[in-house]
Chain A
């Protein structure tokens, strides 16, 4: 339960920290940290405009996406506490829940009949299918490393398996989760949400037609998803056995650090050319393979 609440709290500040980092890096004063949350409150108060082309799918998609993220949050553990729902293979459910949300985002974009949104939908569906193997190879490596197949137990056992090479997994895992989070949330270097041209966007172009309440739901979903991946990263860095109060502080610190990293990356790094993205994303799977190869060596199977 604590993990769930902490993710929600982290999500409050996450987008604000990214914004702040970007504005400081570019020498602007920039908005306050809670500005994105205030934006959401404004959106909730507004009315909505729906395209005449759209129908039921367009109306329910943001809710489905948000609920799928919330359900995925239930599967993440915090410290020594188990997740609210934890069972063998829960990360399969985790991945497929997020995929369900994506399915609806994509078809909602197609529902508008706009060629911009069709383009975004096509890119989103394509890139997220490419990133799927990286996630599964990484989790397979963890499963092999710890001998368990549930988030809660994997992270519990991560640092107490007595393996000296745990750092390798921490580093590769953190790197991959950051990159996967970039793909899943459509940020630099895959996509730049602040680009000024619809033709060059992925996620933002898919939600062009949303307004008011539904747009707020979409934003909440995105912020939660950031904190969701931040939580995964946290679990790879901090051993589960530490003091719970220390952990709480560290959790928020890691999330803030993650947000700063994103902000800095977006300030100093250019977005990939769109047709370079598949190569970039497939590289993640290759890196995950490296982690897997390491475990093969450690278990005396290779070399």
Chain B
């Protein structure tokens, strides 16, 4: 009872944001968020530590008798913790990030922003806690709306408003699919709820309903080809919002998919294969497109698609494991996926915050205009480097742990029963290793071009480090990244427990025990790595002190008048890659060639585009076709009343005729 009252109190207190004095508004939001986070985290801790397997909190009981209940099982508990960590760091970071806007924007805008932020957080919490279908759809809608308001914070720019509206439309398309799925369940069982899914699945075909749910949730998660909103909305939103959206909001889609999967009883193998294939395509294509991006935040958005692919690959493997009755594969697949959800929420939000810091300091997200920022923004650079290493899945950081679990799932199921199975798994191994290599390419490029070398334009010269208030919250994420990377059993043990509990794995200790030992070995290796590195660097330090150390310009092969513009750019770094990937990526160049008779070439420009292939085919082409059709129909719209009366007359005649012929 107390729990429910406290939660409702948080819900209603959020309204006060509009009435609090301007100077206290941020602190009020923060205080409310911290209280709510403590409250909900306490619930999940009590569920995870095994006090109660299932925590039910009835919020209120309306007259009709169907109560609105928050249900927290271990899966919800996991998501609650992920949400709380990222949303909290996001708000802490927002204080510094929003500071330049204080003078420019009206207080009301800030109230709306904070209110939407709080409600994005609350709606995400409720999404993972509510089982009733209708209430779920309502909070799902609140989540879309609040994130929409957050995205259009900079709505003075027309393009941002347009992006926001396109985002809102796509979210509703997704919601439409979920609504239909729930209606089908409701019609068959008499109740619209996640709780009756098992009942539905036991008597009906599983795949069609799953595909409906999957389409709806995948739109939120950003699986290719349903990802088109993602690379538009993330760059448009303020950075702390992008961090939260990319870090946790899109994972609500994964939550939905997993929640449906729990109850599935047949068609599991084909479901798993579908998820795995779509995920691998998302992973590889996502990072392939990320490499071509010059806008730092757009690059991160595409890399989000890649990571959703990795998470999905783990989930797909888990489902295949369920289908084959292979407990090790189920455990590794789902745990790898869940682990990657946590890991990705940490390093992706970190990277988005840093991208925000870079944009705020240099006023441009275009990496071709930057360079040499490490000297000017050392802390941001190091944080970005840690994020990059983690996202590439390199040891001893946290990304490696989840990728390792997924790899192990794959290698364990390699010698499966059928040819198709073995080839599929080998294909996934190839896919995952390619994703790894491509991610390294993508992030060496991103980090190297933005932070290293010399500044390419004036914008990158006059840059100073962002305020301490923006750096410190990110250390929280870094701490988690390092702890998970260096002491992985600490984090993986509870995740194993969650998977075991959620998917009912037989013989859990025997299966999971072996992998915890493996992870302990990885931790030892991490320790060895760090200690050796530190020893070597310390020795190097003292060694160099006893030698002559000089500073000189970079060696220029005899040419010493080079300028910063001679450096490799992001585009040239990706040139050879682009050459090979062109058939897939559809990059275009626009330039006018120098003709033969042009002895003194005039000034000219060169632009290269990398279009999103899927967006072109799935969104742009149908929309163009449809608007072309409508334009042709618009010939009838003459503006003369006589014509319209004629139309009405023809219509009535038609109806009369059809009625006489007994057709209608």
Which residues of A approach B to under 8 Å, CB–CB?
44, 46-57, 60, 63-64, 66-68, 70-71, 74, 85-90, 92-93, 95-97, 99-100, 102-103, 106-107, 110-119, 121-123, 125-126, 128-130, 132-133, 135-137, 140, 143-144, 147, 149, 198, 208-209, 212-214, 217, 274-275, 278, 285, 292, 296, 299, 301-302
Contact = CB atoms under 8 A, between A and B. Distances in A.
A148 to B, nearest CB: 9
B448 A136 contact: no
Nearest to A123: B576
B453 to A, nearest CB: 4
Interface in B536-588: 536-537, 540, 543-544, 547-557, 562, 564, 566-568, 572-577, 579-580
Given A53-B454, A118-B572, A147-B415, A93 B426 contact: no
17 contacts: A50-B551, A63-B536, A67-B529, A71-B525, A85-B524, A90-B521, A93-B522, A96-B403, A99-B394, A103-B443, A107-B444, A114-B556, A126-B576, A133-B430, A137-B426, A274-B576, A301-B422
Contacts of B418: 301
B549 to A, nearest CB: 5
Contact of A88 (B436, B514, B552, B568): B514
Contacts of B449: 110
Interface string B381-418: 01001000100111100001001100110011011001
B627 interface: no
A119 B576 CA distance: 10
A49 B551 contact: yes
Contact of A144 (B414, B453, B514): B414
A198 B437 CA distance: 25
Contact of A113 (B426, B436, B444, B453): B453
Nearest to B548: A47
B518 A100 contact: no
A23 B393 CA distance: 42
B444 A106 contact: yes
Contact of B419 (A100, A144, A302): A302
A60 B441 contact: no
Given A103-B389, A122-B576, 19 more contacts: A53-B554, A63-B536, A66-B536, A87-B521, A92-B404, A96-B393, A99-B436, A99-B440, A111-B448, A113-B567, A123-B576, A128-B440, A135-B433, A140-B411, A149-B412, A208-B555, A214-B540, A217-B536, A296-B419
Q: Is the interface of B mostly helix, strand, loop or mixed?
A: helix
Contacts of B568: 110, 115, 117-119, 121-122
A55 B580 CA distance: 33
B411 A107 contact: no
A138 B553 CA distance: 44
Contacts of B525: 71, 74, 85, 93, 97
B554 A97 contact: no
Interface of B: 371-372, 374-375, 378, 382, 385, 389, 392-395, 400, 403-404, 407-408, 411-412, 414-415, 418-419, 422-423, 426, 429-430, 433-434, 436-438, 440-441, 443-445, 447-449, 452-454, 514-515, 517-518, 521-522, 524-525, 528-529, 532-533, 536-537, 540, 543-544, 547-557, 562, 564, 566-568, 572-577, 579-580
A293 to B, nearest CB: 9
- Report which residue of A53, A95, A113, A274 has the largest number of chain B beta carbons within 10 angstroms of its beta carbon: A113
A74 B531 CA distance: 14
A145 to B, nearest CB: 9
A92 B436 CA distance: 11
A89 B429 CA distance: 13
Given A57-B452, A89-B404, A115-B566, A110 B374 contact: no
Contacts of B426: 137, 140, 292
A89 to B, nearest CB: 5
A63 B537 contact: yes
B440 A47 contact: no
Contact of B540 (A49, A115, A118, A213): A213
Contacts of B404: 89, 92-93
A48 B549 contact: yes
B453 A112 contact: yes
B580 A92 contact: no
B437 A128 contact: yes
B395 A96 contact: yes
Contact of A299 (B415, B452, B567, B577): B415
A208 B555 CA distance: 7
A125 B447 CA distance: 13
Contact of B453 (A88, A93, A111): A111
A137 B524 CA distance: 27
Contacts of B522: 87, 93
Contacts of A133: 430, 433-434, 437
Contacts of B543: 44, 213
A228 B447 CA distance: 29
Nearest to A147: B415
B3 to A, nearest CB: 42
Given A292-B426, A302-B419, A110 B444 contact: yes
Contacts of B444: 103, 106-107, 110, 121, 125
Top 8 closest pairs, chain A to chain B, by CB:
A118-B568, A129-B437, A110-B448, A47-B548, A113-B453, A47-B547, A51-B554, A132-B437
A55 B374 contact: yes
A134 to B, nearest CB: 9
B557 A122 contact: no
Contacts of A97: 395, 525, 529
A165 to B, nearest CB: 16
Given A68-B529, A74-B525, A122 B536 contact: no
Given A102-B440, A113-B567, A114-B555, A53 B453 contact: yes
